[in-house]
Amino acid sequence: MKRTFSIGGVHPHDSKISRDCAIETLPTPGTVYISVAQHIGAPAVPVVAPGDKVKTGQVVAEPGGFVSAFIHSSVSGTVKSVAPRADLAGKMSMTIEIQVEGDEWAEGIDRSETLVTDIPDDPKAIIEKIRLGGIVGLGGATFPTHVKLSPPPGSVCERLIINGCECEPYLTSDFRVLLEKGEQVVVGAAILRKALGGVPCTIAIEENKPEAIKHIGEVIARLNFSGIEVMSLKKRYPQGGEKQLIDAVMHRQVGSGALPISVGAVVQNVGTALAVYDAVQKGKPLIDNVITVTGNSAPRQANFLVRVGTPLSFILEKAGGLPEGDLKVISGGPMMGRAVANLESATLKGTSSLLLLRPEETLRGQEGSCIRCGKCTDACPMGLEPYLLNRLVKAGDLEGLEANAIQDCIECGCCLYSCPANIPLLDRIRLAKADVLGVIRARAAAAKAAASK
């Protein structure tokens, strides 16, 4: 009996139509636009000025706080400007514009293909290298990896889970990485294991990727690494969610508002493991990632290795150009991805895919009345009651929302997906989540002020 998480979830068709497309290295564009807000937490602070010459892999922005990350130039060339630029949603964010000249790499980066399997002994040194490599979680949340690898005092890590579920339909970048860079991923997992004090490691892959499961199993046997196992999971969305994956692999439930480390788990994505390998073994910071270009109306399916900061229009052009007619471009998967309003925006470290959908594939139906069928409650993997939250949002009852654990929502979209009345449940919950967070923060600030008096 294969494992999966215990409550909720939906079964969208996996539509992995780009699964057989090998990773192609995309040429560098003429200009890259590197945002300084590519991760959760404080934006990085630019350390270059217009006119500066930079090399590939050179630091261009330093962390702006503890939860923040280094950002490196993904190309060599001249810095043209450091100014706000519209991101994929059209909102302004500070961006470093670099005009590409040649491809000269910074010193200390090993660009050879040889696999380095000797792992450094000192966990602290490993974490420092990961920090300097600007590595963030590539599963979507882009949380700085070095922070995740430094558990707060008093908490003990018991298992490292490498997340190879890729439960979002269409996406195949993690799958291709597992197939083509399996060795590096396994060594990366071994490094992460070491950084956490030698805990056992599980590489979790959904059963719809049997080639990857077989390949990783062979790689582990060939490299003769102990403490790393591969686990096949039932296919179910959102299994790639941190809390759902822990439930599936370890049968432990992370409590409301708690972190995964509270049940002894640390989850890292396959892409992150590869980036960790590059940073620790090869000295190569996070300057490129694999991006899937897919969709039924895409001119061709592809998995590209793309430098961070490449304009989306350049990638689409290399994939055969945009087809005629109306089209929706989504950055990320169809369930949690964001619609792209500005094709001139550039990729970020966490960009996983460009999904092209026709209007008829994306249009929502007319919103009807809630018929209390309870499908959303059955689908919610966090055990929430979306129909109830929707009612409370409409009534503006922030206290009621907080009492009903709205902050536990992971915004996976299962409620919206399952609702037969087309109620925009997630849209409303997401807004109210921000409001409730504001209330919680204001209360904490007030309590702090009272305590200091």
Partner 1 sequence: MTQLVIWTIVILTVLGMLLAAILFAVAKKFKVEEDPRIDDVEKAMPGANCGGCGFAGCRAFAEAAVKADDLDSVYCPVGGGETMKKVAAILGRQVKEKAPMVAVVRCNGSCDVRPTVNVYCGSLSCRVKATLYSGDTGCSWGCVGCGDCVGACQFGALKMNPETGLPEVDESKCTACGACVKACPKAVIELRAKGPRGMREVVCCINRDRGPQVKKACANACIGCGICFKTCTHEAIVFENNVAYIDYSKCKLCRECEAVCPTGAIHGVGFPKPLDVEAVKARIAERKKKAAEAAAADKKEEEK
**Which residues of this protein are in contact with partner 1, per CB under 8 A?**
86, 89-92, 326, 328, 338-339, 341, 359, 362-364, 367, 424, 427-428, 430-431, 434
Residue among 80 and 358 whose Cβ is closer to partner 1: 358
Residue among 324 and 326 whose Cβ is closer to partner 1: 326
User: What's the first-to-final CA gap in the chain, in angstroms?
Assistant: 58
Q: In the bound complex, what is the minimum distance in angstroms from residue 357's beta carbon to partner 1? A: 11
CA-to-CA separations, 433 to 25, 338, 401, 442, in angstroms, rounded: 40, 18, 8, 14
Q: In the bound complex, what is the minimum distance in angstroms from residue 335's beta carbon to partner 1? A: 14
Q: Could you tell me which residues are beta bridge partners of residue 233?
A: 3, 206
Residue among 164 and 337 whose Cβ is closer to partner 1: 337
Q: In the bound complex, what is the minimum distance in angstroms from residue 83's beta carbon to partner 1? A: 11
Give which of 340, 347, 432 is closest to 384, Cα–Cα: 432
Q: What is the DSSP letter of 225?
A: -
Residue 66 tokens read as 């503890």
Residue found by looking up tokens 């060594």 in the block: 187
The DSSP string of 265-318 is EEEEEHHHHHHHHHHHHH---S-EEEEEEE-TTSSS-EEEEEETT-BHHHHHHH
Residue among 78 and 342 whose Cβ is closer to partner 1: 342
Give which of 127, 72, 114, 116 is closest to 281, Cα–Cα: 116
Residue among 11 and 338 whose Cβ is closer to partner 1: 338
Residue among 13 and 364 whose Cβ is closer to partner 1: 364
Q: In the bound complex, what is the minimum distance in angstroms from residue 60's beta carbon to partner 1? A: 25
Residue among 134 and 295 whose Cβ is closer to partner 1: 295
Is there a contact between 340 and 332 (Cβ–Cβ < 8 Å)?
Answer: no
Is there a contact between 160 and 245 (Cβ–Cβ < 8 Å)?
Answer: no
Residue found by looking up tokens 């060599």 in the block: 76
**Packing angle of the helix pair 123-132, 182-195 (nearest 10 deg):** 120
How many Å apart are CA 75 and CA 104, to the nearest integer? 8
Q: Is the peptide bond before 120 cis (omega within 30 degrees of 0)?
A: no
Amino acid at 394: K
Q: In the bound complex, what is the minimum distance in angstroms from residue 200's beta carbon to partner 1? A: 41
Residue among 152 and 365 whose Cβ is closer to partner 1: 365
Q: In the bound complex, what is the minimum distance in angstroms from residue 431's beta carbon to partner 1? A: 6
